Amino acid sequence: MGLASKTFLSRTTRTSSAEVRQGNAEEPSPASVLLNLLQIGLVFGLILVAVWTPQGRFNSAVSLAAAGFTVVLAFRSHSPEELGLSRPLAGSGVILGAGALLVLLIAAAGSLTRTLGPPQPLPLHRAWQYAIWALLQQFILQSFIYLRLESVVGSQRAVLGAALLFSVAHLPNPWLTALSLVGALFFCEMFRRYRNIVPLALVHAALGLSIAASLPDHWLHHMRVGLGYLKYPA
């Protein structure tokens, strides 16, 4: 594909997303729809390969490819404001307040399930690693998948579509699949309203760490998904 074609398709993606948010979008062109769906399929497919392959060089290469494609394609087609990176305070009070309430609910649930088994230990270095991973997950979910679905099906349907894809990536862990669906619906709706992934990443990290520190580890299998969940505790 020539440079001119790539530039045209990139601009088409950006324009359709902006119009959808303003509520006056025209019907997206077939080229724009196809481009967005292919990009979602590429990145999500790489994520599933990474989730369902053993740890090693191939797995690491696929994970890096998924992250690389996400970052490059996102910044080529959307501005920092559209990606949720330019307004760190937008909606922060609402998002952080709701996140704090959810953390308290998880802690309360953990106090009731403590007799069913201990939660997993969480050393400080793992907590920081998860916080960084939470930011990357929010960027993939919101700044890449949600924005492209928004261009194709509209903002409200994109909330559900992106949340479903996010939950599928957590199979076959039943607890994380269900919790990630609920969490992603909240994350995507907040992103739809405020276009800010900074507080969403903080809340994501807090919720994930609260779940790991509160619920029995034999339910969560160390928060593993895909092949890692099936091979636990190996």
Is 174 a member of any domain? yes
Give me the pLDDT at residue 9, please. Answer: 40
Is 232 a member of any domain? no
Picking from 220, 216, 215, 223, the residue whose alpha carbon sits closest to that of residue 108 is 215
Tokens, residue 168: 């599928």
3-state secondary structure 86-124: CCCCCCHHHHHHHHHHHHHHHHHHHHHHHHHCCCCCCCH
Is 231 a member of any domain? no
79 Cβ partners below 8 Å, 6+ apart?
Answer: 14, 86
pLDDT bucket at 3, cuts 50 / 70 / 90: very low
**Based on the structure, what is the number of domains in the chain?**
1
Return mean pLDDT, the chain: 90
158-208 per-position pLDDT tens digit: 999 999 999 999 999 999 999 999 999 999 999 999 999 999 999 999 999
79-132 per-position pLDDT tens digit: 999 999 999 999 999 999 999 999 999 999 999 998 999 999 888 888 999 999
Query: Could you give the C-alpha distances from 10 to 44, 65, 151, 152, in angstroms and in order?
Result: 19, 20, 12, 14
122-134 per-position pLDDT tens digit: 888 889 999 999 9
Question: 78 with 17: CB under 8 angstroms?
Answer: yes
pLDDT bucket at 7, cuts 50 / 70 / 90: very low
Q: 19 is in which domain, residue-wise?
A: 3-225
Is 25 a member of any domain? yes
Picking from 219, 209, 216, 208, the residue whose alpha carbon sits closest to that of residue 114 is 216
Is 201 a member of any domain? yes
Q: What pTM value is reported for the model?
A: 0.88
